[in-house]
Amino acid sequence: MDQDTTKSNQSQYYRFQIFQAQRNAMGKLEKTKVVGMAYLKEGQDTYTIRLWTFLNDKFFLLMNKSDSSRFVVMSREANKNPTSKSKYFWNVIGNGKALSSQNCIELNFDLFGRPIYMNIFPEANVSSVLLPEDNIKTTA
């Protein structure tokens, strides 16, 4: 099987910028600095968030089931009890709300003093069959 066939059989990941912004005089958000990326696997509804400040941590963005304009930001830690039915402990660490007029989602992490934003449109021509950490080899 050639490489192109293998890629077409695997799901794609789409990348979305996460950024800081300020409102201009007209009330429109203006991006000031990219602070991370969110990734969405084709066919899934949970975004994986990577922030440059916390390179070794992953966060997750899930849509509220009863209100598609609301989101919850979560962290996940492995359950170390081998007999437990739950593989992970999920922790709510923030929330989000869609700002459709601004083409973004406002993300509020519990410990940050101000919101950050996620573009609702993926970056053009940027997709991968792997998350970035799958490509990184670290040394101990």
SS3 66: coil
Domain that holds residue 64: 11-129
- In a domain, residue 102? The reply is yes
Domain count, the chain: 1
Q: Alpha carbon 49 to chain centroid distance?
A: 3
3 in any annotated domain: no
Query: Is 135 within the bounds of a domain?
Result: no
**How far apart, in Å, do the first and last CA atoms of the chain sit?**
35
Could you give the 3-state DSSP secondary structure of residue 35?
strand
pLDDT in tens, 37-79: 999 999 999 999 999 999 999 999 999 999 999 999 999 998 8
Higher pLDDT, 72 or 5: 72
Q: What is d(CA 13, CA 47) in angstroms, rounded to the nearest whole number?
A: 10
Residue 63 lies in a domain: yes
Whole-structure pTM over 0.85, yes or no? Answer: no
Tell whether 70 is covered by a domain: yes
Whether residue 64 is contained in a domain is answered as yes
| Residue 56 to residues 36, 51, 53, Cα–Cα distance (Å) | 12, 9, 9
In a domain, 87, yes or no: yes
